[in-house]
Amino acid sequence: MSDCARFHVITGGPGSGKTSLIDALARAGHARSVEAGRAIIQDQLAIDGPALPWRDPQAFAELMLSWELRSYRMAEAMRGPVFFDRGVTDLVGYLTLIGRPVPAHIARAAERFRYNRRVFVAPPWPEIYAQDAERKQTLEEAVRTYEALVTAYADSGYELVSLPLVSVEERVRFVLDTIAA
């Protein structure tokens, strides 16, 4: 699968403002994906399912892979830039973070389902970090997640662009200016 220059990943640890940024980009008329992890957790909690990161991390990862591949396929039918709330490569970082081996099929997916060479990374932001029903990680775990994701994307050949710790509106301008350059 060839690199798709109009597919822009926004990644980072939990609670760093990724989804708020993507929501704002969507309100401005840009296509977007929905984060797999939070939606899967909500669905699994609703049905008392086993595929939760604290019950069965491998099953959780497989559901995330399926979700991300479907999001990618749906984005292929969209016009213009598409902003992804995480990407397939996030799974490599997640599995590494929790000390699990990365299965060959997930590694292949990260190699074949490519995004724009520049990946936006939201750094840890203690001032806005908050736990909730789906986000059970501590701030320290969020920092470790960020570090694992940075490594996974860098190792996969992406150029990392750190998002500034500024208002959502300023982040939107930063992202749009960066992709226009």
pLDDT digits (tens, 9 = 90+) for 86-113: 999 999 999 999 999 999 999 999 999 9
pLDDT of res. 128: 67
Domains of the chain: 7-180 (3.40.50.300)
Token pair, residue 1, equals 């699968």
The SS3 assignment for 20 reads: helix
Q: Using one digit for the tens of pLDDT, what is the confidence trace for 28-61?
A: 999 999 888 888 988 999 999 999 988 999 999 9
CB atoms inside a 10 Å sphere around CB 32: 23
The reply to whether the predicted model has a pTM over 0.75 is yes
Half-sphere exposure (Cβ direction) of 72: Cα atoms closer than 13 Å = 23
Q: Using one digit for the tens of pLDDT, what is the confidence trace for 135-177?
A: 567 768 888 999 999 999 999 999 999 999 999 999 999 999 9
Q: Residue 147 and residue 145: Cα distance in Å, rounded?
A: 5
